Structure formats: structure tokens, C-alpha cells
Amino acid sequence: MNKEFHSFGWYASKVSPHMPKKAFKPVPGRLLGGLAYLLITITGMLAIGVYDLPFLANTAISFVIGTSFAAMGFLGHEILHGTVVKKAGLRDLLGAVFFFPLLTGPRLWRKWHNMTHHVHTQHEEKDPDTWMSKDELDKKPALKLIYRLPFSVRAFLEFFSLCFLFTLHSTRMFFTYVKEFQPKKRGAVWIQFLVPWVVWIGLVFFVGITNWVFIFLIPHLIANAMVMGYISTNHRLNPYVPVNDPLANTLSVTVPKWIDVLHFNFSYHTEHHIFPSISSKYYPLVKKHIKDNWPSLYHEMPMSSALKALWKTPRVYYNGKELIDPQAGLVYGSLGNGLDPEAIEPRSLNESDAKNGIKQA
């Protein structure tokens, strides 16, 4: 079957005429939500730092700070796409503020996310956020050892790693991309990277280690898990694609309405890839148009189903369209290529796979 792919610009050109004009303007009102999160965070931090609260109260406040950190990250993402304020300087300043808890600077983020992930989504080599292929894994013997662990242990480790993966990946991205900035801009990128680390680590000398764990460490891990909970469902069940087609390479998850309100509609990821520069406020409308026009191409499922499917499928691409468990020699479909999240059935490697030079690890 030869599928026809379309770029995100093609979909945008089809949907745009049906969108109201105001959808293409920045929505500074989003900042009110950000302000609320900032106030909650600062109040929580002061409560932990100033009062000698019982363990349970500190834990509960820590959880609230963590969920606020994550939501601030979602807003930071939106701000740095330019959908909240227009002026570049203000955009970067606000982006820096809202990404501060996730230890990520605005210039790095725009290069890594806007200019690379969005432009080359699910491209085997060019998308910095995509998962590796079997060919690439074969070149990394140390990593291959991990794939010798039993499937359930790997799935557990994959989920456990979500608690720190955003920070780890962001730090890796910094060292990958910092060299690519012009020398005169590199200083600013370094400063935006170092300041959050210095501030958050330095805080330990003012509040003591126990309070610091509640004020920063636990919230930071919770925020990592929350943002990665979404990010891991965004593209990891989708195939690599020859054309950056958001309907083929992206999944929108669904969550209860109140969570969409708290998380600035971050669940609408396919919509976001078609219109990264319009406010997520209008994504429910974009979704309606996509579902009217291309119902069979659009991938959507509840967040819980997406996480379950992630748990049950391996994370190595095989022939771009499937996922392979190299140890067991089992091959799983991807979205649009035979993956049914409700009934995941792998197939065994067969003769035509052998012809392609694939053998069990």
C-alpha cells in the first residue's frame, strides 16, 4: 500500500480558511494562568522554607509545586512558539521564566524544539526527539545490553526514567546544539543554561537539604514525569515517515477537560504540529476540522491507552514502520501500520525479514 503523505503546511492551508481570524493572533491572556502557577509555587516554597511543617504537609505541597512546574513548562512551550506575546525579547524572557524549573533556556529550546523537532518530526536522523532504529542500536553494543533484559524490566525502566528524562535529554541537547550557535550568541545560551542550575542548586545553602528536597528535587522529578508522560505519547507509537505528516507521525491523546484546562491543551499534539504558531486555545476547533476532513488518518486515544500501549511495545524502530524487540525477535505494528492499542499482537520475524539481514540479537 502506497500511502500519500502531506506536510504540516498542506494541512494548515486546508484548515486555515475555516479558522477565525483571531486564532492567528497572540493570546496574552494565557499569562494569567502562568501567574497563578507562579504564585502557587512561590507560596508553597515559602511555606516549606519558613514553617516547620509536618512531613505529610511538606509532601502534599511538594506535589502541588511539581504539578505547577509541569504546567509552567507547557506554558513556556507555548510562549516560545510565539503564541502568547509577539515581541521576541519579552517572549524569550517569559519563556526563560516558565522553563526555569525544567532547567532549560529559551534559545536552546527554540533551536532544539521549534527549529529541529517541528521541522523534522519523526525523521530517523534529523529529529532529536525520535527513538532509535534497529540499525542504529546494532552500532551501540553497550546499549544492546539493556535490550537483553526481560521485556517487563525494560518497560519498567523506560517508565521509571520518565522521572528524569526531560532534564537528561535537555542537558544532552544543550551540549549537542551549543556549538551550532554563532560565537557571539553562544555566551547567552551558556548563561541561560547555567543560571537555572546555579539558582536551584544554590538554594540548598539557604534552605537546608531537607527543605530543598521538598522545594525543588521532588517537584522537579514530578514535573519531569508529567511532561514526559505527554511527550512519550506524542510520537513514540507512530512510525518514521518520509514526509513530515502530522497525521501520520503524531498522536493526540485525550484527557479529562479539567486537565486540559490545567495543562494549556497540551494533549492536542497533532493539532500543535499543524499549527505550532496558533494558541492552543484554538486546538479543539482545529481538531474538529481534522476529524471532519481526514477521520481515518487522525490518531487519537485516551492518555491511559497510550501509556498502556507504550508499556506493551518495544522502543526500537524496525524498517521505519514497525517496532522490534530485538531479543525476542518479535515485531509490533505502529499507529497506521497495524498497531491496535486495545489488542497488541506481535508477529515473529519471518523469511523476508531474514532477507533484509535481520537476525535475532
Other Cβ atoms less than 10 A from the Cβ of 93: the count is 13
Q: How far is the CB of 9 from Zn ion (least distance, A)?
A: 15
Convert 317-337 to b/e letters by CB count within 10 Å (16 or more is b): bbbebbbbbbbbbbbbbbbbb
Residue 89, phi then psi, degrees to nearest 5:
-65, -45
Q: How far apart are CA 96 and CA 289, in angstroms?
A: 33
The three grid cell numbers given for residue 239, joined into one nine-digit string: 512510525
> Least distance (Å) from Zn ion to the CB of residue 176?
17
Rounded Cα–Cα distance for residues 60 and 56 (Å): 6
**Interface pick for Zn ion out of 62, 234, 252, 279 (rule CB under 5 A):** 234
Can residue 244 be called a binding residue for Zn ion (CB under 5 A)? no
| Contact string (CB under 5 A) for Zn ion, positions 136-165, x = contact | ------------------------------
Residue 83 binds to Zn ion (criterion: CB under 5 A): no
Interaction of residue 167 with Zn ion, rule CB under 5 A:
no
Q: How far is the CB of 250 from Zn ion (least distance, A)?
A: 6
Q: Which residues are registered as beta bridge partners of 331?
A: 324, 347
- Using CB under 5 A, which of the segments 41-49, 62-70, 227-235, 237-245 binds Zn ion? 227-235
- Rule CB under 5 A: is residue 249 a binding residue for Zn ion? no
Task: Give the nearer residue to Zn ion in terms of CB position, either 62 or 244.
Answer: 244
By rule CB under 5 A, what string of x and - marks binding of each residue 180-219 to Zn ion?
----------------------------------------
Cβ(72)–Cβ(101) below 8 Å: yes
Q: Phi and psi (nearest 5°) for 57?
A: -65, -45
The cell for 161 is 526514567
Q: Is 267 in the site for Zn ion (CB under 5 A)?
A: no
Q: Does 130 bind Zn ion (CB under 5 A)?
A: no
Footprint of Zn ion on this chain (CB under 5 A)?
234
